[in-house]
Chain A
C-alpha cells in the first residue's frame, strides 16, 4: 500500500479515536451546568476524571503524526487557523485545570467559577473542532506558496458554524449517553430525556448539513463515484445513528453509547473520504491545494513512522483497554474523587 495513503488513513484513525473518546468528555462538559447540585456535578466530573487525560493524548498524537507525516499541511493549517488554534488551546487548558482545581476548595464561588470554565471550555472546543471541519470541507484561501491568504473572520462562515453546531449537538448526545452508563436512578432518567432532546437537535442539524454539503461541496462526492464501496460507510453511519433512538427506547444505554461511538467514527471516515487526496483544499485554485502527494514527508520517514505506529499502537490499545476496565461501572464519590 502507498505509504502516503496509509498515513492519511492512520491520521483518520487517530482523529476518530480522539473524537470518540474525548468526544464524550467534551459532551459531559457541555452538559455540566445542567447538573442540579454539587453532588451531581461531582458525578459528572468523576465520570471522566480518570479518563479525559488519556483521551486527550489521541489529539496530541494526531498533532505529532500530522507534523511528521504531512509537515506542509501541519504548517499551513496551524498558521492559517492561528487565532482559532489559540482559542482551542485556551479551551483545552481551562478544561484540564477546571477538573483539577474545582474540588480543591469548598467555597461556592470557587466551584461556580470552575464549573462555568469547564462548561465554556468544553463547548468552545467542540464548536471549534466543528468549525475546522466545516472550513476544511469548503476549502480555505491558500496561495501558490502554500500559505494562508485569508482572515480569521473569513473562517467563520455560515456553513462552518453549522458544522460547529452539529458537532456540539453530537458530542452533547454522546456525553449524555456516556453519563447514563455512569449514573443511576433519577439522574439517569433525566439524562435519558436529555439524550432524546440532543438527538432531536442533532438530527435536524445533521439533515441540514447533509443537504448543504451536497449542494455546495460537489467535490465531496467524487471519491464515492470512484470507490463505490464507500457507500457502505454511509450505510454504517446511518444504521449507527438510527440505532441510537432504538436503544434509548429499549433502555439499553450501553448499545446507544456504542452506536454513537460508531456514528462518530463513521462520520470522521466520511470526512476523510470527502477530502482525499486533499489535506487542505485551496478555495483560490484547486492546483494549490495541499495533497497527500505534495505535503508528505519522505518515503523513508513515512516508513519509519509506520514502524513506530505498528510497534506502539498495540500497547496503546491494551493500556486503553486496561484503564477502561479498571474504571468500569457507576461513579462512586469517595475520598479520592474530584
Chain B
C-alpha cells in the first residue's frame, strides 16, 4: 500500500468526513431538543424552557458554523479527489446532492438566522416556526445524504450506459434510486444515532451544572428532557440496527460476514461478541460467541446458513479486522449507552437522579462514546463496502482523480490536519467557556416583553413534566 492517489484520497476523505461528522448529528439531535424546549415553553408558558432554548441555541450556532465550514469540503472532494467516480455516478449521485442543496440547506441556513439572531425581531410563534424549520432542514439534509450514500451501498434504479467506451450509471427510475434497498433502514438508524448524540450532549452539560449546583433549576429540566430523549433513542437503536443488519445480510453479505468475522459459510452461525479476527488462520481468535444467534438474528432460524467470506473471491472481500473492530466497538458503545440512559431515566422517574453523583458524572462523560459510536458506525459502513466505491459496480481503486499528482493531495491533507486540529481545539475551548458560564445572568435581566406576557399565562404551580412529582 504505497502513498498513491487512491490511498491518499481515502485518507483525506476519512480525515475530513470524521471531522465533519461530529457536527451534523449534533445539529440534528440538538435541533430536535430545541423544538421540544421551545415547544414546552409555548405549551406550559414556563419561562425556564425559553431560557434553556436561548442557551442551547448559542451552542447550536457554534456547532452549526463548523458543520457548514467542514461540509462544503465534502461536496467539493467528489470532484477534486474522486473525479473518475464523479464521472461514473454524477447522473445519479449528483442529483441527490443538488436536491439536498435546494430542499435542505436553504431552509436550514436561512431560518438559522431567525433562530439565532431573531429572538427580539420576530414574534414568539414565528421564532418557534423557525426552530421547527431549521430542525426539519437538518433532517432533510440527512435524508438526501443518506439516500446518496445508500445508493453507493445498494445501487438501484439505474442502467450502465456507454459513452465513447466509458461506462457510467444513469437514472432509469428516480424513486427506485430514492428508495433503494437500504436507504430507509439506514436513514432511521442514522437519525436515531443523531438523536442519541444530541440527547447525550445536552445531558452531559446539564449533568455537569447539576453536579456543580449552578443554574440547578434550569439544568434539572434540561437534564430530565435530554435523559428521556436519549434513553428513547438508545433503546430504539438496537432494534433499528437489527433491521439494518438484516438488510446488509441480504444486499451486502460480504460486509456482514466481515462485521461478524464469519470466514466460512456456516449453518447455526455464532454471534461473535468479542475477539480478534485473524486472516491467516481464517478464524476469530480469543473469541466469545453465542452459537446459532447470528443465524437466528439474520434468518430468524437457529440452524439457518449464513454466508461467510469464503463465498467471495479474495479481491472482493472487505478488510475483516477493521470491519470487525469498528462494528463491535459501535455495538459495545451503543449497548453501554442504552444501559446508562435507561438507568438514568429510571432514577429520574424515582426522583433519585440528582443525588446520584456517580451516575451524573457518567452522564457528563457519555457524550464521548455517543459521538464515537456514530463515527464508528459510519466508518464501519464505508470500510465494509470496500473494495467497492459503488457496491459491485465500481472499485475504489478505479475511482480517484487521474489529473491530480499525489504531492498535491499530501499537501492538502497536511493542511486539513493542521487546520482541523486548530479548529477542533478552538471549538472545544469556546464550547467549554460557554458551557461553564451557562445561561447568562444578563439573559434573565434583559428578558421582558413577550416573556413577561408569557409568564402571566404560566401555571402558578410551575410544574414541569420532567421533574419528579413531589406528591408521589
Contacts and interface: CB of A to CB of B under 8 A. Distances in A.
Given A67-B78, A97-B423, A300-B170, A316 B91 contact: no
B170 A301 contact: yes
B69 A71 contact: no
Interface stretch (A82-90, A191-199, A204-212, A219-227): A82-90
B110 A305 contact: no
B contact face: mostly helix, strand, loop, or mixed: helix
A306 to B, nearest CB: 11
A326 B102 contact: no
Contacts of A89: 72-73, 76
B176 interface: no
Interface string B141-168: 0000000000000000000010000001
Interface of chain A: mostly helix, strand, loop or mixed: helix
B403 A74 contact: no
B90 A67 contact: yes
A334 B116 CA distance: 13
B171 A67 contact: no
A100 B423 contact: no
A108 interface: no
B171 A301 contact: yes
Which of B71, B113, B419 counts the most A-chain CB atoms under 10 A from its CB? B113
Interface string B105-127: 11101111110111111100000
Interface centre among A83, A86, A316, by most chain B C-beta atoms within 10 angstroms, is A86
B172 interface: yes
Nearest to A298: B170
Nearest to A316: B106
A149 interface: yes
Interface stretch (A27-35, A57-65, A162-170): A57-65
Contacts of A56: 68, 72, 109
Interface stretch (A174-182, A236-244, A249-257, A317-325): A317-325
Contact of A323 (B75, B87, B113): B113
A297 B90 contact: yes
A306 B230 CA distance: 40
Contacts, number: 240
A92 B71 CA distance: 11
Contacts of A78: 76, 78-80, 83, 86
Interface in A264-304: 297-298, 300-301, 304
B172 to A, nearest CB: 7
B100 to A, nearest CB: 7
Contacts of A335: 440, 442-443, 446
B359 to A, nearest CB: 32
B122 A82 contact: no
B339 interface: no
Interface in A10-68: 49-51, 53-54, 56-57, 59-61, 63-68
Given A57-B106, A96-B69, A298-B161, A75 B86 contact: yes
Interface in B29-82: 61-62, 64-66, 68-73, 75-76, 78-81
Contact of B94 (A50, A67, A99): A67
Interface residues of A, number: 70
Interface in A71-128: 71-72, 74-83, 85-86, 89-90, 92-93, 96-97, 99-101, 104-105
B171 A327 contact: no
B454 interface: no
Given A53-B113, A86-B415, A68 B75 contact: no
A147 B122 CA distance: 51
Nearest to B159: A298
Given A147-B403, A323-B111, A323-B114, A92 B72 contact: yes
Contacts of A327: 113, 117-118, 121
Given A61-B102, A82-B401, A68 B94 contact: yes
Contact of A71 (B90, B116, B120, B408): B90
B288 interface: no
A44 B405 CA distance: 40
Contacts of A297: 90-91, 94, 170
B49 to A, nearest CB: 18
B121 A100 contact: no
Given A54-B109, A64-B94, A319-B111, A49 B117 contact: yes
Contacts of A305: 95, 98
B430 to A, nearest CB: 5
**6 shortest interchain CB distances as A-B pairs:** A71-B90, A78-B79, A68-B94, A61-B101, A50-B113, A67-B94
10 contacts: A61-B101, A63-B76, A68-B91, A72-B90, A96-B66, A298-B170, A304-B174, A319-B111, A320-B110, A323-B111
